[in-house]
Chain A
Amino acid sequence: MADTPAPTEPKPIVPFKPVILAHIHEDGSHTLDHYEARGGYAVAREHVGTTDPASLVKLVDDSGLRGRGGAGFPTGKKWSFLAKGTGKPAYLAINGDESEPGTFKDRHILERDPHQLIEGALITCWAIQSHQAFIYLRGEFILGYERLDKAVREAKAKGYVGANAFGKGFDITVTVIRGAGAYICGEETGMLSSIEGGRGYPKIKPPFPAISGLFKCPTIVNNVETIANVTHIVKNGAAWHRQWGTEKSPGYKIFCLSGQVNKPGVYEVPLGITMDSFINDYGGGLRDGKKMKAVIPGGLSAPVLTPDMVAKCTMDYESLAGLGSMLGSGGVTVLNEDVDLVDSIFNTMRFYHHESCGQCTPCREGTGWLEKLAHRIAHGHGRQGDLDLLGDVCKNMRGRTICVLADAAAMPMQSYLQHFRGEFEKKLHDPGLDEKARTFRDEFTATAKQATREHKAPSVLEVGLGMDRT
């Protein structure tokens, strides 16, 4: 690939109309009648039981579809990694545990177009030769569960789901499981632990789920949006999917816009549009004519962007990675100039501390430390050296745990420290704190540090992190 000339002709702009969200605003879009009236289940009827499964995997691989759950791993590649000839059943596990703050796209698919997901699941099951699909929803999706459960029953009554699906002699069971409020079950192996009937503890990888997942059998884990995409790709072909997006991030994606903008909501747009155009043209710009202070581009765990970075950012996996952030699950949150970023990082750290499953010490303890330190700084009790301590804790959390929750907590903290260090320092030297208290605090910190250097006291971390003993 190295000899390919780098600059290529810009792609012709193909007008884009929403694909997955095309019908969600219509009345009764969640019913089987509505879905069949717009050609639903025709693709599954055509392909399940007849088309060569390997060709379907190749088609999805050619389309360049990337996982929409957060990691962005190519879906076709993942399917091709599925262990074959093990003598064990293969499973499909669909991740609808949409817990990443700022993300609410799966909610709309589940509540307003559940049949689209079921059709995608049927095609995927045939492509990977699995007889059972588990759809794991977060417990808070109450309407989503009701509608998906009803949709599965409707499809079962029609003979699309269950034994001998579409009369082609291939059995597909679709099982809907509800979670119960654990963020960690959005992590693929955590979700598998939960489906297996345990606490949602992530498992160490490798072996990856495609080799040994659910009940130690080969398992494909995909996001709800990814599976909903499969139907359209199989129907229209790989080239159709590639006409939008960039070379490495083809296609379109649902983005969730929240925060202080005029028109928050879900928008399905081609990948590669500029973030500026997304926020201003789709989201209607910032509310009340305020200026932008920061943007969280891919759910709460994505490193934060400054307005300068937003100006040169396009919405695809590579551009955001180049800016040190990530596209993640596509939850864009816009913060205006009035937001206190130290408060917001405290809120963020509280979230991760609450949601850490507690398996690995760096995460269980580290998220707690970050929360306490952020709380202390946000409330005007920060000490000299707290910012270095924050950076130090983050460094010691990343890459040392079973799953990436520790990284997800450390990344936003590091990016806030990198881009908005001034905000923290302003809080550290809080003018609201009276002179006496500030002097005492600084002396206390200096004494503790000196004592540590002379091995007269427990480590500075202990003194620094312990609640004030004054």
Chain B
Amino acid sequence: MEQLSSAIGTALALLFSGNNDLWEIVGISFRVSFIAILAATPPALLAAFALAYLRFPGRRLLISINSTLLSVPAVVVGLTLYILLSRQGPLGEWKLLFTQTAMVLGQIALAFPILAAMAHSSLQAVDKRAWETARTLGASPLRALLTLMHEARFGLLAALLAAFGRIIAEVGASMMLGGNILHYTRNIPTAIALETSKGEFAQGIALGIVLLTLAFTLNALLQNFQGRGQPVT
């Protein structure tokens, strides 16, 4: 118990003293995950729109595949990309393994199915007359699509926050694809895993507090958006 309270005390001191190593790790985490979510969002929204509004052969199969990808563990995503990016792999020439770019790719692969599935549900819930009304009022397909997204904005924001929460906290893919290199690819979850394995709990707890704070903030925002989307009548 004494060891735990001492570790928590040191963790808080690390957090509030502006420890460079710790905040650099936080910075890497946020940078990688922000780029991943920015890259994954446009194609995921287009895919969600296509699945919700277009009728084409194989649509149901694609929905099933995307739902299956939701439950694929991060380490399996990491393993797949590792094989592709490793020197002997088909994309080995790109020399991306153990770089932040590889971590971004892993996180895109993790974020895409979450974004697509949740956005699909949100867009499908919008009244079909919204699209028709926009088109018959002269909106171009792009403007009509933006209108639909505006109608489904609370659900889409919830999808964005859920996907961001998932990728910033995942350890498997980041560890395998980034290699946990200090000052370069070490992010919050890989640092926690490393420090814990060394028996150094203080930095792990400090980073855990950052993740918990982030998780709480995202969930509070999520509740707020979802609450606005379902007004009490």
Q: Do A and B come from one complex?
A: no
